[in-house]
Amino acid sequence: MKIRIDIDETRTEEEIIIRGKSFDEKLMRMQKMIANLYEKDEKIVLYKGDTTYYIPVGDILFFETEGASIYAHTIAEVYHTKYRLYELEGLLSGDFMRVSKATILNLAKVYSVTKTLTSSGTAEFKGTHKQTYISRYYFKALQQRLEEMRR
């Protein structure tokens, strides 16, 4: 494996290119590792009352709608965001997934998933009482994504 860094002062943002013979498990793991490193530094603007917060994206458990508002949940707090859920889907990394019409979940923070009789379920998070609903439409895809992450 070769690693090469090219410095170009005219660039406006960093770009990482991974080249290989085929897209195999090893390349997929490298891509995820790089994305996770970047995400840990990435911050999102959130609001609580008159205060603006800059919260690391990796600290978010889930985003959910309540009425016309979108809320971001961390272990201890709930913040308001001005983004719509479809905008968040485009902004967030591969660790986030829509799990219902009203919720986007941080897969890396899921502690447990409980299936109900109607094939829907709930996701729980370690260190908090918070949990969120998973619709039956997304439940199987969520289980597959969680399995992929655990490999």
Specify the pLDDT at position 39: 56
In a domain, 135, yes or no: yes
Could you write out the DSSP letters of every residue in 68-80?
A: TEEEEE-SS-EEE
pLDDT tens profile 5-43: 788 888 877 778 888 888 787 777 777 777 666 655 688
pLDDT tens profile 118-148: 768 999 999 899 999 999 999 988 988 888 8
For tokens 């016309």, what's the residue? 68
Give the total number of structural domains in the chain.
1
The answer, yes or no, to whether residue 151 has pLDDT greater than 80, is no
Q: 3-class SS at 117? A: coil
Specify the pLDDT at position 69: 95
In a domain, 100, yes or no: yes
Full residue range of the structural domain in which residue 43 is found = 25-150
Q: How far apart are CA 104 and CA 62, in angstroms?
A: 6
In a domain, 43, yes or no: yes
Q: Which of 1-5, 21-25, 50-54, 112-116 has the lowest mean pLDDT?
A: 1-5
Confidence tier at 76 by pLDDT (50, 70, 90): very high
Check which CATH number belongs to the domain holding 113 and give it.
2.40.50.1020
The whole-number average pLDDT for the span 45-56 is: 95
Confidence tier at 46 by pLDDT (50, 70, 90): very high
CA–chain centroid gap for 37, Å, is 13
pLDDT tens profile 81-114: 999 999 998 888 778 999 999 999 999 899 999 9
Of 12, 73, 18, the residue nearest 48 (C-alpha): 73
Q: How far apart are CA 17 and CA 46, in angstroms?
A: 31
Specify the pLDDT at position 75: 94
In a domain, 97, yes or no: yes
Q: How far apart are CA 4 and CA 100, in angstroms?
A: 41
For tokens 């902004």, what's the residue? 91
In a domain, 9, yes or no: no
- Amino acid sitting at position 76: A
In a domain, 3, yes or no: no
Specify the pLDDT at position 7: 83
Specify the pLDDT at position 117: 77
